Chains A and B, each alone.
Chain A
Amino acid sequence: MRDRLGVLVVALLGLFLLAPLACGQEAILTFEWGAETLTIAPGGEARIALVARNGSVYEGDDLELEADLEELGFTLATDPEIVKKIAPFGDATLDVLLAAPADAAEGEIELTISALYTYCIDESCFMLEEPLTLRVAIVPGADPIAATASTRANPWPPIVAALVLAGLAAGLLLGRRTRLRIAGAVGLAVVAVLGLAYGTLEMQHEQAQGIGAVLCMSCVGLEIPSHEPPELSAEDEGRLAALTEPRELLVFSATWCHSCPVAKAFVAAVDDASAAITHRVIDVEEEPETAEAYGVVVSGRTIVPAIVRVDTSELLTGTDHLKARLFELLELPDVEETGGSS
């Protein structure tokens, strides 16, 4: 008994001692301009880099920029025109060339540009659009090509990878010989420092946290992975069309979520098939309070996708048997009850 009490006391003491070590969750999907403001002369051109970082575990494809700047007289071009692939946790840089009209008035304006890309889960791809704001300062006499993009390839990753792997192998081999054990340990200590430092520079610590913060239900074997939204049969559409009582659904998703596109696509199809159903997609990172309020954040872990029926606050998580569970959540009438046919 005394043993157990002792363990409890030590555990409680440790709780308070270890508390400051931990830190909170952060978002992991970002677009970043190379400069805060792009300075451009009327009738001139200026370049700016746009870095797209993929914090998700699936690749982003066919990234391109689109902007309706005709009214303002600006033109926009990018190099490359389309980024074919951004690997998971990788990044890509677009060299954006902006040309201002000769009659552009001096001052600052904000241009809205859309980043379009597809987000692929195996064979299924989903089109995504991210609005970006580019702040432009129009200054007569400003240097043409004021802010340049740094699109040169980073030479360090292969060098550091070779050093880390060679150091690791050498350290382990030296460590096996009694007389060279200290040399091996020193080599491994260098590898540890180099790996942690370079990994942190490469934001790999955030990737680690991002993977841990998501409850990917299929990844840890809580459900069978689904990559395609369920199809609506004629009977399903009949049942949805027969629904008369209003139903409001909230679809909670996150940019890094694996199966959210499946849930979003299916709820959108259900919404289209019924006049009584409305839905809203909520980004859990933008509206964490709403997610908390509807029980989508369970024990500090964001569980997405999640679908909530607003009037009853009933919650559905994951995409396992999505059609059956969503129809149950919606309490759809049977076709026979409404006099319809299957």
Chain B
Amino acid sequence: MKLKWPRRTVQSLGILFGIFHITGIGMTHILFPGLHCYACPLAITVCPIGLMQNLVAFGVVPYFWIGAIVAYGLFAGRGFCGWFCPFGTLNDLLSFRKVKIGAWTSYGKYVVLIFAIVGAWLATDTLFCKLCPAASLEASIPYLFMGVAKLNTPLLVHLGTLAGTLVGMLLVARFWCRYLCPMGGLLSLFNRVSFLRLRLDEQRCKT
């Protein structure tokens, strides 16, 4: 409870960073430390999962991508998900039912991560982007209203995955982040070595 204010503040900064194009600045070289679609009309950063799929599809060894992900992971690990990622913030805001489903389901995010990598490799295409609910919310819907996108099959697929994810979020707290987000899966690899991480206070936690 003590962390509510700082957390909300940092989450606001995350959203602000996600829509920084409102200042008129164009796309930068910076990877966003969370799941935030680069096709978002207000984005100035590159989505790590989208970029990774592109690079895997082209058979490029992604040195810059690895360097950035390791740097983010070392700094805060999965802390970015709960504190900075705009889509994580949405998960947070819709977390009304603090229930959990089977522990094994938390491995789902690694399955999605592997699907994104293998799918990009096999199909030489960004398959995960076509299903990503963050892309649905941050790119498909804005471009539909801007008249750039049309209500066609790929867009309906996007809207379907977003609707499914929103229902999941309403039924299970942090549904997407906890069970399906490939970026969360990637950053969680660094949880044990990250500079900012949860530490067990054995004096206070005895039961």
Question: Interface of A with B (CB < 8 Å)?
Answer: 3, 6-8, 10-11, 14-15, 18-19, 21-25, 57, 87-89, 157, 160-161, 164, 168, 171-172, 175-176, 181, 184-185, 188-189, 191-200, 202, 204-209, 211-213, 215-224, 298-301, 303, 317-318, 320-321
Contacts and interface: CB of A to CB of B under 8 A. Distances in A.
Q: Point out which of A171, A209, A219, A220 has the most chain B C-beta atoms below 10 A from its C-beta.
A: A220
B52 to A, nearest CB: 10
B155 A222 contact: yes
A194 B106 CA distance: 32
B111 interface: no
26 contacts: A3-B8, A10-B12, A11-B16, A15-B20, A19-B25, A22-B20, A22-B30, A87-B58, A89-B60, A157-B61, A160-B63, A172-B193, A175-B192, A192-B71, A195-B67, A195-B68, A199-B66, A204-B63, A209-B46, A211-B51, A215-B143, A222-B140, A300-B25, A301-B27, A301-B41, A321-B150
Interface in B1-58: 5, 8-9, 12-13, 15-17, 20-31, 37-39, 41-47, 50-51, 54-55, 58
B146 A196 contact: no
A208 B29 contact: yes
Nearest to A213: B27
A49 B28 CA distance: 31
A196 B152 contact: no
A12 to B, nearest CB: 8
B145 to A, nearest CB: 12
Contacts of B164: none
Q: Which of the four size classes fits the interface of chain B? A: 35 or more
Q: Point out which of B46, B59, B73 has the most chain A C-beta atoms below 10 A from its C-beta.
A: B46
Interface string B140-156: 10010010111011110
A160 B64 CA distance: 12
B28 A221 contact: no
Contacts of B149: 217, 222-223
Contacts of A320: 150, 152
A23 B173 CA distance: 37
Given A181-B193, A199-B67, A212-B46, A223 B154 contact: yes
Nearest to A202: B63
B193 A21 contact: no
B118 interface: no
Contacts of B73: 188
Contacts of B51: 208, 211-212
B139 interface: yes
B189 interface: yes
B112 interface: no
A208 B31 contact: yes
B113 interface: no
Given A188-B190, A191-B67, A212 B45 contact: yes
Contact of B65 (A18, A208, A222): A208
B50 A211 contact: yes
A192 B67 contact: yes
B16 A191 contact: no
B62 to A, nearest CB: 7
A271 B195 CA distance: 61
Given A191-B67, A299-B41, 12 more contacts: A15-B23, A19-B23, A24-B25, A57-B58, A195-B67, A199-B65, A207-B64, A208-B29, A211-B46, A215-B39, A215-B148, A303-B148
Contacts of A161: 61, 63
Interface in B99-152: 125-126, 129-131, 135, 139-140, 143, 146, 148-150, 152
A196 B148 contact: no
B12 A11 contact: yes
Contacts of B55: 207
Contacts of A221: 129-131, 135, 140, 154-155, 157-158
B76 interface: no
Given A181-B193, A193-B67, A7 B9 contact: yes
